[in-house]
Chain A
């Protein structure tokens, strides 16, 4: 009962946040000097042409009505039309969303086991050479901009060794393994970007549990360090670790923006950056909304999983 209530409350909070963010995304365009119509037609537009376009775009309605119309459309899969191409946004966005999720998923499959494994290993051997190596590595990857990592990988693996392509060209109907081959370099880049944070947090969560009295008791019983970590500390550190993993997955989906641009990968991030340069607002809004749904969704799942793994967290939140 308690669990269900917590999950329901957390999910409701997620939906509320999403609505608040969508309002912000939509009404943000009201900041535009003039309006979309004058931005579209430019300086030389006649007042009549402006009036016609305003009516066509529904700009004469009050902002909250336009927001509700937009939201209604979004819920029914209609994201509106692009200002620059005039075609429906949904049909351009969906294949790209698939591409982005493919890349993020690929990176996650490498990054999550690597980070959690190394994190637990550094916690078991705290202060060892491996632990210090891991902390230096994580400092480096936190400090390196994504494009630096990308270009180093391209120079080494594409230009010098010639093992992998430097551009991630994918198209519809592409063979699965060709697709994997094309996206390997961007996926490794993304992995390096998120692995550090995940590793550090896994290590910290495990070590935090290690200082609990019951773990000391386990040590005093004469158990080996790895046994204590794996069967006594880890079950209690699992909640925070799951949380960190989910939060980093959310970051992964957003971190793709720069990586997609570097590798000219046709994903949502690249679409959004293109739309920003062209100031194609409906497309930017749609991309922003997609990122918001994924990001807030994963964060909500993160909190729920963390609570499921730790009964104490559940009751504390309910108070």
Chain B
């Protein structure tokens, strides 16, 4: 099969299939999961067996069912945070690129300060002050990560604002809203779609890490990061319960990454361009 005049590589197919399976699993969780997510079906950290395919967790719940339900929380929260990140980052980036120099300078300097520190450290700081809850976590991540998106969106928009058709639209007397939504956005879309995928990977891993540290998604909502946290002790007893949720996180990230790599190769951006810190 060819898309955009290029052959779709095998890796993109693998990525696509992983993403598709994850989506199906998340949408139809109650029909797929063998047990309800809170039901205790066996002993503590039973090894995988015919009844519980992936064994049981720290209080004897079926690991496979927890995994299927947990995916819902992990993926949906990461998606919401990524959407918010893109809206803030792209919005500010376009505004900085298409309004006057002062606005651009003010936004850019603030972003520079936020970029000077790893997201995790700022994030921990905010959680120490405001406590941990899902809305606070989503907003914090979105604000901090939007600084990374801002740089790309601004750079892309800068290249578009100098085009003749944007000048024409301005001379025609169109407002900034028109310029951003009708002139810049459609032309900036391809790199932003790839950026969305990369940001999703990053957000997904980041939220998983926070949950693992016990600072992200709080019980009773099950998510993959906190499942690793809850089952970490199993390792000392010769079990490998935390490997399942941790592996699920890894597989989904690889799937999205493979698709993104393919998208990036279509638009001839360097591979891994977004794999920044």
Chain A contact residues, CB within 8 Å of chain B: 17-18, 20-21, 24-25, 28-29, 31-32, 138-140, 142-148, 151-152, 154-155, 159, 166, 197, 200, 204, 247, 250-251, 254, 257-258, 261-262, 272-273, 275-277, 279-281, 284-285, 288, 291-292, 295-296, 299
Contact = CB atoms under 8 A, between A and B. Distances in A.
Contacts of B20: none
A4 B201 CA distance: 41
Given A139-B254, A143-B250, A251-B277, A21 B117 contact: yes
A284 B272 contact: no
A151 B235 contact: yes
Contacts of B277: 197, 247, 250-251
25 contacts: A24-B113, A28-B126, A29-B129, A140-B254, A142-B272, A143-B250, A144-B253, A145-B205, A145-B249, A148-B246, A152-B243, A154-B235, A155-B240, A155-B243, A197-B277, A204-B270, A204-B272, A254-B118, A254-B120, A258-B213, A272-B124, A285-B125, A288-B121, A295-B116, A295-B117
Given A148-B247, A151-B235, A288 B125 contact: yes
Nearest to B273: A204
A103 B213 CA distance: 19
B257 A17 contact: no
B209 interface: yes
Contacts of A148: 228, 243, 246-247, 249-250
Nearest to B213: A273
B129 A281 contact: yes
B129 A146 contact: no
Contacts of A261: 212-213
A197 B272 CA distance: 9
B258 to A, nearest CB: 8
Contacts of A20: 113, 116
B215 interface: yes
B36 interface: no
B215 A276 contact: yes
Contacts of A139: 254, 257-258, 261
A204 B254 CA distance: 21
Contacts of B131: 279
B174 interface: no
Interface of B: 112-113, 116-118, 120-122, 124-131, 201, 205, 208-209, 212-215, 225, 228, 232, 235-236, 238, 240, 242-243, 246-247, 249-250, 253-254, 257-258, 261, 270-272, 275, 277
Contacts of A262: 232
Given A200-B272, A251-B118, 19 more contacts: A17-B116, A21-B116, A139-B258, A143-B253, A143-B254, A144-B250, A151-B240, A154-B235, A155-B235, A247-B277, A257-B120, A258-B209, A261-B213, A272-B121, A273-B214, A281-B128, A292-B117, A295-B116, A295-B117
B118 A291 contact: yes
B125 A284 contact: yes
Of residues B116, B225, B261, which shows the largest number of chain A Cβ atoms within 10 Å of its Cβ?
B116
Contacts of A275: 128
B124 A273 contact: yes
Given A145-B209, A151-B243, A258-B213, A291 B121 contact: yes
A299 B116 contact: yes
A276 B116 contact: no
A144 to B, nearest CB: 5
Contact of B212 (A25, A28, A145): A145
B121 A147 contact: no
Given A20-B113, A31-B130, A292 B121 contact: yes
A154 B246 CA distance: 13
A296 B115 CA distance: 10
A140 B14 CA distance: 14
B147 to A, nearest CB: 13
A21 B113 contact: yes
Which 7 pairs between the two chains have the least Cβ-Cβ distance?
A148-B246, A143-B253, A284-B128, A143-B254, A254-B118, A276-B128, A20-B113
A27 to B, nearest CB: 10
B113 A273 contact: no
A284 B240 CA distance: 33
A291 B277 CA distance: 15
A107 to B, nearest CB: 15
A200 B274 CA distance: 12
A247 B129 CA distance: 28
A159 B128 contact: no
A258 B125 contact: no
A164 to B, nearest CB: 13
A191 B257 CA distance: 21
Nearest to A253: B118
A292 B225 CA distance: 26
Contacts of B129: 28-29, 31-32, 279, 281
Contacts of B257: 139, 142-143
B227 to A, nearest CB: 11
Contacts of B118: 251, 254, 291, 295
Contacts of A288: 121-122, 124-125
Contacts of B275: 142, 197, 200
